[in-house]
Structure 1
């Protein structure tokens, strides 16, 4: 159990860390595009090296990649306008909340009365994080939360239908492909080439970090109950609130850290109650 705890907490730190790096980037959409494109390239090499991936799984990976286009766009917009300690906890906490609701509606998951109470607790925590903020960063973070809930439900169905551990790598391929097509369709080809040439090492590091994050979670799942690992992984929202306050010097840090802890508490109860 100790190993699983360390793996899950390391994954939480890495996830908050690469998001912090995106927040500190110049063009944040290009930073997200670059990391997912290189992560997808790595994923494709691995998939081909081990003999391929179930054909039926690619449609789910493509759907996940398509959903990641608005995820990347609105996450970049949210980071452009809002504090890291506001955007990340709202997006991740809200996404986990919507994923639970989506599982209830679309995947025949069941949630107990205690689980419903946990959903209310998470919602209260998100309200406290937002405070009186009402700018475009709040709307964008909520859109990101919707996309997280959507791709979480889609990925859950993809994993269940394929039963293949390589599914996550396939989603990186899908995301890299779809964000590239979006960038080209919106006339950003020159900016993409320039950004990749100048920042490919940074993008590669971010891509590896996002890939390793998933791998650590999978290793933790093999050593501890899924609910335990999931709850620990969501501690990243508290880490992000702390980083925004201490690293970036954002205001309202203490309130957001406390509110993020409420969100994590609600998610832990939700996981235990399901």
Structure 2
């Protein structure tokens, strides 16, 4: 299987930084359900504007777009539940680390992709390093770890779905725009169902953080979906999960989380695994 083109690798790594940043903004929020609802709504508004400037996806891709939107709503809810009790440096590694192996399996079963032996070794090293990073003496309680793993399963499911959908759509950015619109538009109603009221709009720093997170999240995933139209799903997923390096640094710098020698060793394993996977 061919290597991922260098430009695509660079774009995915940039998207990984953006993804870690919006997760840090979400974790730092005072009301994370409200924050992620506003983030999704902002992304939906931006996508609603974008759909007027891109062609419609091919008919075959619409089922994937709808299914992915549903999966991503589930991912958002379980991610919020996990962040309510766990640190960024704990939840993020478990959620992101469980996804690449599942994406590889999904890509093999549903997209008929086969990984070389070095790529499989890289995927195992990457996932093992990420998962180990989320363990230790200060490990999560069982319920929070379960929520993080469920979020990871949603990640794997929607990435495989989007990887197939974007290849059917004919245009990566039209697929992203419509899928994001379908995912973000119902989020205020999801909030209403949970809180029994619509999400309030407030002029305060929390609102600005959520608005920024929504823009960053949309940009990050648009790049990832574009990359999946050009490269194998498992390789894109593996490279994307190097965002854990950025999350560990952001957690230490801005959220007061510890960055230990164990975390540094895991970071090296993640980097080595990503290089094997990509090249």
Task: Judge same fold: TM > 0.5, yes or no.
Answer: yes
Contact 1:237-1:264 at 8 Å conserved across structures: no
Structure 1 residues 210-244: Cα deviation after superposition (integer angstroms, max 9, x where no partner)? 2222455578899x977987665433111111221
Tell me if 1:161 matches 2:161: no
Shift of 1:159: 0.9
- Equivalent pairs, count: 269
Tell me if 1:98 matches 2:105: no
Tell me if 1:149 matches 2:122: no
Question: In the alignment, which of 58, 61, 67 is matched to residue 63 of structure 1?
Answer: 67
In structure 2, distance between residues paired with 1:106 and 1:52: 24
Question: In the alignment, which of 211, 234, 247 is matched to residue 241 of structure 2?
Answer: 234
For structure 2, the residue ranges without an aligned partner over 5 or more in a row are none
Q: If the length of structure 1 is used for normalisation, what is the TM-score? A: 0.83
Range moving further from structure 2, 66-75 or 85-94: 85-94
Contact 2:86-2:140 at 8 Å conserved across structures: no
Structure 1 residues 141-183: Cα deviation after superposition (integer angstroms, max 9, x where no partner)? 1111111000001101111221222111222112113433322
| Alignment partner, residue 202 of structure 1 | 209
Shift of 1:71: 0.6
Mark the CA change 1:112 to 1:221 in structure 2 (over 3 Å): closer, same or farther: closer
Tell me if 1:45 matches 2:77: no
In structure 2, distance between residues paired with 1:119 and 1:219: 21
Range moving further from structure 2, 202-211 or 181-190: 181-190
> Which has the larger helix fraction?
1
In structure 1, distance between residues paired with 2:228 and 2:158: 20
| RMSD, aligned α-carbons | 3.0
Tell me if 1:245 matches 2:245: no
Mark the CA change 1:264 to 1:91 in structure 2 (over 3 Å): closer, same or farther: farther
Contact 1:67-1:151 at 8 Å conserved across structures: yes
Contact 2:96-2:130 at 8 Å conserved across structures: no
Shift of 1:187: 4.2
Shift of 1:7: 4.2
Question: In the alignment, which of 231, 254, 258 is matched to residue 265 of structure 2?
Answer: 258
Describe the SS at the equivalent of 1:210. helix
Question: In the alignment, which of 165, 178, 183 is matched to residue 175 of structure 1?
Answer: 183
Mark the CA change 1:59 to 1:231 in structure 2 (over 3 Å): closer, same or farther: closer
| Alignment partner, residue 122 of structure 1 | 126
In structure 2, distance between residues paired with 1:156 and 1:196: 36
Instruction: Report 1:209-224 matches (<5 A).
Output: 209-216=216-223
Describe the SS at the equivalent of 1:251. coil
Q: If the length of structure 2 is used for normalisation, what is the TM-score? A: 0.82
Contact 2:57-2:170 at 8 Å conserved across structures: no
Shift of 1:62: 1.4
Range moving further from structure 2, 94-103 or 153-162: 94-103
Shift of 1:202: 3.5
Describe the SS at the equivalent of 2:171. coil
Shift of 1:29: 2.0
